[in-house]
Amino acid sequence: MSAHVTARIDLGALAHNVRVLKARTDGRKLMVVVKADAYGHGLVKCGQAAVNAGADYLGVALLEEAVALREGNVPGPILAWLNTPHDRFAECIARDIDLGVNSVATLKGISNAAYSVDRIARVHVKVDTGLNRNGVTLADLPELILALSKAEAEGTIKVVGVMSHFAYADEPSNSTIADQIAEFKTAVDLLEAANFELEVKHLANSAATLALPETYFNMVRPGVAAYGVSPGEEVGAATDFDLKPVMTLCAPIALLKKVPAGTGVSYAHQYHTTADTTLALIPAGYADGVPRSATNNGPVLVGGEIRKVAGRVCMDQFVLDVGDLDVQLGDEVVLFGDPERGEPSVEDWAVAAGTISYEIITRIGPRVHREFINNSW
């Protein structure tokens, strides 16, 4: 059995990016975010590579992701922050996984689980400083602090961190950034006034880690930048910061056929050939994560040139008009990879699909084979 589509994951590039990001932070700790299967790159392999390269923490959204890291024998501190009051916390506490707490109700669930396994749960207070999504508001923080103090006195939890997230995550010049920094400082002050010993205070995402040193506190929390992808146009290209793309998405040519001018291609004939030409069938489609919205627009490196998807992206396949390019059955085409090798970038595909780079990489499906390279560094 052979994989039609391969995501080639360069663990050496990931390790390089981790070191670059850590060097920017002037001695602060570095949490590498590996949620969503390490942004589609492979959770356990990337988590291990990040730790080996010097990451002080790994961050995930879900408890299951944290447990998978431990089951993969990935060492070091791990934080899972997107929790509900009725999550199954006990296994995570027993596996030394830090937990995010966003409400008194969630704290109660964590405390009860810690009591059941006779362990102390390490928690990070998730504060809403203006995103108005996850987290406790400053108005509700005093009530949560009272509950945290009680639970800590009872020996079920220990408050070790505080965190928040920016509303304009990819716009470091937005005026709301300063407001959120001020709110975060207020939250830190309230927690420290309650005599919690905060080991880590983390606010900086990828964009802030690259562009806003005033957001560093004592730990930064980049995600997409660790995978060599820019967090946004305002920040600049990843290469501006010596970050290397980690994923290359490629597939073989499965079929070549000659067709005359005026031939309609793929569903609803959204593309018509303008001359006698050759069509190349690529066995990759939206079930693999190739966005259907990139119809007639997605760039692909084939035969040494960039050609755009011809017609609609289908569930399992799409077509390229390769003209008279010298290509053969089985030749590899590259959807995205390293622009320095002449390949389209993740950002190019985001533009083509009318979305963000995060979505392009995290949507790469489970039937896409992950091939890990350069895992010795």
Domains with residue ranges and CATH for the chain:
11-228 (3.20.20.10), 247-373 (2.40.37.10)
What gap in Å lies between CA 259 and CA 321, rounded to an integer? 10
What gap in Å lies between CA 246 and CA 295, rounded to an integer? 25
The SS3 call for residue 201 is strand
Active-site residue, selected from the candidate residues 57, 108, 115, 267: 267
Q: Is 35 a catalytic residue?
A: yes
Q: Which of 20, 39, 37 is nearest to 357 (CA)?
A: 39
Residue 2 pLDDT > 70, yes or no? no
- What one-letter code names the amino acid at 136? V
Whole-number pLDDT of residue 375: 79
Whole-number pLDDT of residue 3: 66
Active-site residue, selected from the candidate residues 29, 35, 45, 126: 35
Rg (CA), the chain: 23
What gap in Å lies between CA 284 and CA 253, rounded to an integer? 10
- Looking at the chain, the whole-number percentage of residues with pLDDT higher than 90 is 97
Whole-number pLDDT of residue 172: 87
pLDDT tens column, 139-182 = 999 999 999 999 999 999 999 999 999 999 889 889 999 999 99
Strands 6-10 and 247-252: antiparallel
β-sheet bridge partners, residue 248 = 8
Q: Is 201 a catalytic residue?
A: no
For residues 66 and 92, the answer to whether their CB atoms sit within 8 Å is yes
With a CB cutoff of 8 Å and minimum separation 6, the contacts of 7 are 40, 41, 247, 248, 249, 364, 368, 369, 370, 371
What's the mean pLDDT in 176-204?
Answer: 98
- What one-letter code names the amino acid at 38? A
Confidence of residue 109 (pLDDT cuts 50, 70, 90): very high
Residue 235 pLDDT > 90, yes or no? yes
Mean pLDDT rounded to a whole number for the chain: 97
pLDDT tens column, 281-314 = 999 999 999 999 999 999 999 999 999 999 999 9
CA distance to 178, 225, 255, 260, 265, per residue, from 272 (Å): 51, 39, 18, 10, 6
Residue 377 pLDDT > 70, yes or no? no
For residues 14 and 49, the answer to whether their CB atoms sit within 8 Å is yes
For residues 275 and 259, the answer to whether their CB atoms sit within 8 Å is no
Whole-number pLDDT of residue 1: 41
What gap in Å lies between CA 155 and CA 330, rounded to an integer? 62
pLDDT tens column, 20-79 = 999 999 999 999 999 999 999 999 999 999 999 999 999 999 999 999 999 999 999 999
Structure-model confidence comparison of residues 335 and 3, the more confident one? 335
What gap in Å lies between CA 24 and CA 213, rounded to an integer? 9
